[in-house]
Structure 1
């Protein structure tokens, strides 16, 4: 029994990339290219999620005192205002 369903995809400028992979012989179908791309995207997202989990763990374990949210937002607003004045 089939667990997937056919879909229609418009690739735009990525069509050249797909065609090049098919022409190289690395893949035998557009479906194979898209499955490989989705697996790569899954790996990338998982790696980013792990980085974020680690950053959160570091922040939670940081012995430095917490900064009040009002103070933090005031600093951000000040930095933003300074950048706007300097044209950055």
Structure 2
């Protein structure tokens, strides 16, 4: 694996957190801590991009095949969605 050396500045609390991980033996070096954090960030960004692509596809499908609902049907669907996200049965 090719590498490139970077110099970064971190807030004191983050720098302490990195050093603490190395001191605790969880990582062999500061660089390992940063690489692991960047891998997690990269994975989160990839998952976010996938979710956005799914949303865009749903919006596109809805625009191409609109479902006609009455105001009452819209209200019922919104109420069900609200109950589901609020953890209600």
One of 66, 70, 79 as aligned partner of 1:64: 66
Aligned partner of 1:34 in structure 2 is 34
Name structure 1 gaps, 5 residues minimum. 66-88
Q: TM (normalized to structure 1)?
A: 0.65
Partners of 1:60 and 1:7 in 2: how far apart?
Answer: 42
Q: TM (normalized to structure 2)?
A: 0.64
Alignment length, in residue pairs?
A: 64
* 2:7 paired with 1:4: no
CA displacement 1:12-45 (0-9 Å, x = unmatched):
1311220221122110101111111111111000
Instruction: Give the ranges of 4+ consecutive aligned residues of structure 1 lying more than 6 Å apart after TM superposition.
Output: none
Partners of 2:33 and 2:56 in 1: how far apart?
Answer: 34
